[in-house]
Structure 1
Amino acid sequence: MPSSVPSFAELLRRCEHAAVHLELRDWYAPTDRFEAWQRGDRIDWDDRESWWHPYDQMITDAVARGVVIRRARVISEPVSDYIRWEHYVTHANITAGEDVRWLPRRQATAIALPGNDFWLFDGALLRVHHFSGDGVVIEDEITADPNAVKLCAAAFETVWELAIPHHLYEI
């Protein structure tokens, strides 16, 4: 059954000012890139052509239009192998134009956090990710519900203020 949810690419193309992404999980479904990293393969960051993906280009294009893109990750410490890998590959996010921060979960106790990861576009439209227990995306949901938007926007900004910039967060 085809999804009625607009693609991330379409939502980012429509975005005019800001896109923020909050990640709350310590584990997502493994990818080939993650499994290669676990085997010891490392990316040659000097060979951009070998790792640059269409996602990276979408981010770069949006930033060039003036869209500010921020990503915050709430993580458990000590970190999982998956988070260790995400920290490693965040070099690509930064190179594409994202600003990324990390918040140890123990510092998030007083924050009202939503139950799911999300993207918030221009402070008005949420793309909510629903995952299975093992980190597989089950579905994405789009909502402009004012209460959900308000909660997610406030949660993101609170996390952002407390979080550690990527270049300062050491695994």
Structure 2
Amino acid sequence: MPFKEISHVFTTFEHTAWRLETRRGYATDRNSQTWARWQAGEDVTHEPPDEWRHNVAEQTARGKRFGRVRVVDQPLTEGQAFLLARAPSNVAAGDEVRYLLRADAVRLGLPDFDFWLLDSRTLLRFVFDEQDTTLGVTVSQESADALAACQARDAAWHYAIRTADFARQVASTL
């Protein structure tokens, strides 16, 4: 299913929207104007709110929660470094972003695919091509899929590091 066809779920979910990000980079990032500015050395840490961040702020003001864990390599790929640079804008909007090293994700047995878990019952699993372009999502409300995603979320969240702390760790290794 095309992602645009289900994007309304980010306004209609009841309690929580949580994402696991496992890719080393995303075509949408590389094709953005922000990527080009970042590549040119501009600071993209505190970007003005876009449509996504406006919605996150609105939903979190209603008491809903957004969160995500980004699985990253050591050293970070260029795509992961870009997302880390942009993370403070998402965090400021209310999207709690955390980081987990890929070796730890493997040790924990986390899935190697990206997904959103909505209200601990709906799984939106991303489908990508070889160039990291999002082709769409598969949607499941099967209890076994939701349970596996909840277990992955809980394990990832427990071991992941908050954005600011992770950024300090990365900076200290440069």
TM-score (structure 1 length as normaliser): 0.89
When you count helix as a share of all residues, which structure comes out higher? 2
Structure 1 stretches of at least 4 aligned residues deviating more than 3 Å after TM superposition: 2-6
In structure 2, the partner of 1:38 is 39
> Which residue of structure 1 lines up, in the alignment, with residue 6 of structure 2?
7
**Counterparts of 1:123 and 1:97 in 2: how far apart (Å)?**
19
SS of corresponding position for 1:110: helix
Pairing 1:157–2:154 present: yes
SS in 1 for 2:71: strand
After superposition, residues 1-171 of structure 1 pair within 5 angstroms as 3=2, 6-8=5-7, 10-29=8-27, 30=30, 31-43=32-44, 45=46, 51-170=48-167, 171=170
- Structure 1: stretches of 5+ with no match in the other structure: none
CA distance in 2, matches of 1:153, 1:99: 17
**Structure 1 residues 141, 36: closer, same or farther in 2, change over 3 A?**
same
For 1:70, give the aligned amino acid: G
Conserved? CA contact 1:5–1:141, under 8 Å: no
Q: Give the Cα separation in 1 of the matches to 2:5 and 2:134.
A: 15
Residue 44 (structure 1) shift: 7.4
Identity %: 24
- Compute the displacement of 1:110 (Å): 2.5
Q: Secondary structure at the match of 1:109?
A: helix
How far residue 118 of structure 1 moved from its aligned partner, in angstroms, is: 0.8
- 1:86-125 deviation per Cα after TM superposition (whole angstroms, max 9, x unaligned): 0010011111101111001111223232242111110011
- Structure 1 vs Structure 2 CA RMSD: 1.9
Cα deviation digits, residues 138-163 of structure 1 (max 9, x gap) = 11121112121111111111011011
What TM-score results when the alignment is normalised by the length of structure 2?
0.87
Q: Which range is displaced more, 97-106 or 138-147?
A: 138-147
Q: Indicate the SS of the match to 2:98.
A: strand
Q: Tell whether the 8 Å contact from 2:3 to 2:136 is kept in structure 1 after alignment.
A: no
